[in-house]
């Protein structure tokens, strides 16, 4: 039921705490790790909740520093918790696109296999130019597989998930942080999917697609966490240089 998703519950409860003025404007709220323990949820769930509150304008995620209160009420009457969290979107894609790949393995023809191979080449070239261009080719690759499932309902579901990926304010906010780290579509994983499809093995194709999407989810989570770590390191290095200069 809508509103019962874990990250929505966490975001709603934190919004209530912030609205109660427990934290003053500019205060830093507890760390992701502590909040995960407090709410007995995973850190990705906490990260989704923080993104929702950031979209609402209630907090600001300052990478390498923490999450700070910026407002005691949402900036709009429609809370971002009605949006789709990036990690639940990955979960849905793994389930549905995995089945799309399994169905495609039974139906795909040589022309579509050649098209997928061409798209991987275009994706590789686009990775060296701009991330949006590479992601557009990535979308074409995944939608081609959905189309070759020969099931219009499956194709529609996959298309809707990709449309939601582009329309979700939370996902857009999250992907901005990922793009800042230079994360691009993984060519080797797309080749693994194509190889499974060429074999006509439905189970291998399902596993290849799900493994790819799980790795993408892990990669973007690690990237946003790594960004924080690197900025802290840079800040500390700057402070060390400043203090060293004072001693000269």
User: What distance lies between CA 137 and its chain's CA centroid?
Assistant: 17
Sign of CA dihedral 209, 210, 211, 212: positive
Query: pLDDT by residue (tens digit) across 129-182?
Result: 988 899 999 999 999 999 999 999 999 999 999 998 888 777 777 777 777 777
Query: pLDDT by residue (tens digit) across 232-244?
Result: 445 445 544 544 4
Label residues 140-169 b or e (16+ Cβ within 10 Å = b).
bbbbbbbbbbebeebbebbeebbeebeebe
Residues 236 and 12: their CA atoms lie apart, in Å, by 34
In the predicted model, what is the mean pLDDT of the chain? 83
Check pLDDT > 70 for residue 38. yes
Query: pLDDT by residue (tens digit) across 175-229?
Result: 777 777 777 889 999 999 999 999 999 999 999 999 999 888 887 777 666 444 4
Check pLDDT > 80 for residue 95. yes
């Amino acid at each position: 039921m809508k509103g019962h998703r874990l990250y929505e519950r966490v975001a709603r409860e934190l919004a209530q705490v912030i609205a109660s003025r427990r934290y003053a404007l500019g205060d830093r709220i507890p760390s992701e790790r502590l909040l995960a323990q407090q709410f007995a949820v995973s850190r990705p769930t906490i990260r989704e909740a923080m993104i929702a509150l950031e979209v609402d304008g209630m907090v600001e995620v300052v990478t390498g520093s923490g999450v700070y209160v910026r407002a005691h009420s949402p900036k709009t009457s429609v809370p971002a918790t009605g949006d789709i969290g990036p990690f639940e979107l990955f979960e849905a894609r793994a389930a549905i696109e995995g089945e799309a790949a399994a169905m495609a393995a039974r139906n795909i023809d040589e022309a579509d296999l050649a098209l997928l191979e061409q798209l991987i080449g275009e994706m590789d070239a686009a990775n060296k130019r701009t991330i949006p261009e590479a992601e557009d080719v990535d979308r074409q690759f995944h939608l081609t597989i959905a189309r070759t499932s020969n099931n219009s309902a499956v194709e529609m579901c996959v298309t809707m998930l990709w449309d939601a990926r582009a329309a979700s304010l939370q996902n857009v906010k999250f992907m901005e942080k990922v793009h800042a780290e230079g994360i691009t579509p993984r060519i080797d994983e797309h080749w693994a999917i194509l190889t499974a499809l060429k074999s006509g093995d439905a189970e291998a194709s399902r596993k290849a697609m799900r493994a790819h999407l799980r790795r993408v989810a892990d990669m973007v989570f690690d990237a946003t966490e790594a960004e924080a770590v690197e900025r802290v390191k840079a800040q500390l290095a700057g402070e060390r240089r400043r203090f060293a200069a004072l001693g000269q």
